[in-house]
Amino acid sequence: MLAYWYNAPRHIKLIFIIAVCAAIYVANQVQPLSPTYTVLSLALGFGLHFGQYLQTKISDRGSSKSKLQFLLRIYPLIIVGIVMWMLPPQHNWIVTIQALGFVLVVFFLVSIYQNRAKRFE
């Protein structure tokens, strides 16, 4: 699924970003997410992109490539587990939506920024 994101057309990316931001906004109206969890979510989202970036930079012949691919396949599940475990139990699904939304927003923005066309050489 993450590989599709890097090859998706611009309008699909824009639709996903708007939908995630709208979900975060609606969930925030019920129960705001604390800044500590927001920063943790932002770091996890950056880690998601950084893992994909490392996968493209490691040579195909090494055994570390297969280990990294396995880790990158389970990393989104690890993120969900970390978020579910660390968040407070009050309104758990609302704050989970916000935390996972912030993970996705950072992933979207960092991946789009990295692959943007350079204006100046």
pLDDT above 70 coverage of the chain, percent? 83
Calpha distance 112→117 (Å, rounded) = 10
Residue (of 113, 108, 90, 114) closest to 41 by Cα position: 108
pLDDT tens by residue, 94-120: 888 898 899 889 988 888 776 666 666
Residue (of 59, 51, 25, 60) closest to 111 by Cα position: 51
pLDDT at 89 over 80: no
pLDDT at 118: 66
Per-residue pLDDT, averaged over 6-35, amounts to 88
| DSSP 8-state symbol, 117 | P
What are the residue boundaries of the structural domains of the chain, listed by start? 7-114
Q: Which comes out higher in pLDDT, residue 96 or 23?
A: 23
What tokens were used for 11? 């309008």
State the pLDDT confidence band at 8, using cuts at 50, 70 and 90.
Answer: confident
CA atoms within 13 A on the CB side of 22: 6
C-alpha pair distances (Å), 49 with each of 8, 10, 46, 66: 15, 18, 5, 18
pLDDT at 76 over 60: yes
